[in-house]
Amino acid sequence: MQVLLPEGWPRPKGYANGVKVRGTQVFIAGMIGWDAQCVFHTDDFAGQVRQALQNIVDVLREAGGKPEHIMRMTWYVTDKREYLAAGREVGAAYREIIGSYNAAMTAVEVKALIEDRAKVEIEVTAVLPD
């Protein structure tokens, strides 16, 4: 993987502007903060992020992938202020479950998610090396 950082641009905090890779692409649908049985264990934002990230890793593992194969993430959050306020806890969960911050990321505030209790939904594109 090559992180794309144009000359003179500052390194972004917590993500990459772009990445260049070769390999088998894996597309993971939006994961929310419930477990494999579709049960929410918390309404805490960071807790739901932790569960969504774990769900992503579990699905990725089925493809033979690892967290370091994640190249792109799109986060849909229902409240940007709640997202920003939980930054420290979200960052800790991300580092624990995913590891490095090399993925290209986008975060978008949305009015609602399909599951009423969901506060975050994260979709992923991963690339497994050839």
Which residues span the domain enclosing 60?
2-128
Length of the chain, in residues: 130
pTM of the model: 0.91
**pLDDT cut 70: percent of the chain above it:** 99
Nearest Cα to 74, choosing from 38, 34, 103?
103
d(CA 124, CA 103): 9
Nearest Cα to 45, choosing from 16, 88, 14, 74?
88
Neighbours of 20 (CB within 10 A): 10
CATH of the domain at 40: 3.30.1330.40
Q: Which two tokens stand for residue 88?
A: 């420290």
Q: Is the dihedral of CA 66, 67, 72, 78 positive or negative?
A: positive
Q: Is the dihedral of CA 66, 70, 74, 78 positive or negative?
A: positive
Read off the DSSP letter of residue 78.
S
What does the pLDDT read at residue 40? Answer: 98
| 61-113 confidence digits (pLDDT tens) | 999 999 999 999 999 999 999 999 999 999 999 999 999 768 899 999 999 99
What does the pLDDT read at residue 106? Answer: 95
Give the total number of structural domains in the chain.
1
